[in-house]
């Protein structure tokens, strides 16, 4: 009996709320039909009492609805962000490929111009290794005797002189850079035709040694190969004079040369498939330097 007494107020409250809702609906309907009508005092009081209760009942449902809407919105934002990140990655890759294509197209044009200028067969090669020794400056390229590369052949880039092939294997070759201390190139000042010897310092600069008397060497002069010495053809760009030292009483004067080639960014080179007379004599008696001969055909 006591339990029934406890349930009675709750039942009355629910019944009252339902009644208020029904009455409100009817009054709203009549108000619409009669084009506006003020609520009676008793009905207004009931609505004032029922409104907070309705708000309290609807609050949890609204909170759940707002949380679900926020979750859905965040999920959609994440999906859009993922799609945008994929698109940015794709566009970045395309941009990189287009830039590489532009660089390659410019390089190919310079290669064509070089071939017309020197009239020497040239084989493109990629750098695949760099000598890390502090005493030697050399690189490894991916072309060897099977492509006609021999020791003593000059190596150049579209910028200028790189070095000389010093050792070959079947599919690769080693090139000594002009930066190496053992390198010596007969050079000439393009402007004044003053001759001298370009030597490697083992660093990123070269040294131009010339006779001080009757020589005209100035800063910003261009140094090219003279063609003498039988190693390099004439006219290869070596570098630019960046500093001229004071000779004092010495017969020989020295100048610092900034190489034409940026060896820190060197990626592709070209092997000139022709040896000078000196290199031809030097290497002609060495065994294993010549490219492999083609297999003989069947005897007739």
pLDDT > 90 fraction of the chain, expressed in percent and rounded: 37
Closest alpha carbon to 152 in 274, 300, 237, 49? 274
The reported pLDDT for the residue numbered 259 is 96
149 pLDDT tier (thresholds 50, 70, 90): very high
Show the domains of the chain with their CATH numbers: 122-283 (2.40.10.340)
State pLDDT tens for residues 219-260. Answer: 999 999 998 988 999 999 999 999 998 877 788 899 999 999
Closest alpha carbon to 198 in 213, 178, 214? 178
Tell me: pLDDT of 115 over 90.
no
Distance CA(243)–CA(207), nearest Å, equals: 10
Other CB atoms closer than 10 Å to residue 34's CB: what's the count? 8
Q: Which run of H or E residues covers position 202?
A: none
pLDDT > 70 fraction of the chain, expressed in percent and rounded: 61
Supply the pTM of this predicted model.
Answer: 0.60
Alpha helices in 119-237 (DSSP H): none
Could you say which DSSP state residue 9 is in? H
Contacts of 119 by beta carbon, 8 Å cutoff, 6+ apart: none
């Amino acid at each position: 009996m006591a339990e029934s007494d406890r349930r009675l107020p709750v039942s009355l409250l629910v019944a009252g709320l339902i009644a208020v809702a029904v009455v409100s609906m009817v009054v709203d309907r009549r108000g619409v039909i009669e084009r506006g009508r003020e609520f009676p005092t008793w009905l207004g009081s009931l609505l004032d009492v029922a409104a907070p209760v309705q708000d309290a009942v609807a609050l949890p449902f609204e909170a759940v609805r707002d949380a679900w809407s926020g979750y859905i919105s965040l999920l959609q934002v994440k999906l859009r962000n993922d799609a945008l990140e994929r698109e940015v990655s794709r566009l970045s890759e395309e941009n990189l490929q287009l830039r590489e294509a532009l660089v390659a197209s410019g390089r190919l044009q310079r290669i064509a111009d070089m071939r017309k200028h020197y009239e020497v067969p040239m084989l493109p090669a990629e750098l695949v290794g760099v000598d890390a020794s502090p005493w030697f400056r050399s690189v490894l390229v991916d072309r060897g005797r099977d492509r006609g590369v021999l020791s003593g052949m000059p190596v150049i880039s579209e910028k200028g002189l790189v070095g000389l092939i010093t050792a070959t294997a079947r599919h690769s070759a080693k090139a000594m850079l002009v930066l190496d201390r053992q390198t010596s190139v007969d050079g000439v000042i393009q402007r004044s035709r003053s001759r001298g010897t370009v030597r490697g310092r083992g660093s990123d600069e070269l040294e131009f040694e010339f006779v001080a008397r009757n020589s005209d060497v100035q800063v910003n002069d261009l140094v090219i190969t003279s063609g003498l010495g039988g190693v390099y053809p004439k006219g290869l760009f070596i570098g630019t004079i960046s500093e001229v030292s004071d000779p004092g009483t010495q017969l020989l004067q020295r100048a610092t040369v900034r190489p034409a080639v940026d060896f820190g960014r060197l990626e592709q080179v070209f092997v000139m498939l022709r040896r000078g007379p000196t290199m031809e004599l030097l290497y002609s008696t060495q065994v294993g330097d010549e490219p492999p001969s083609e297999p003989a055909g069947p005897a007739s």
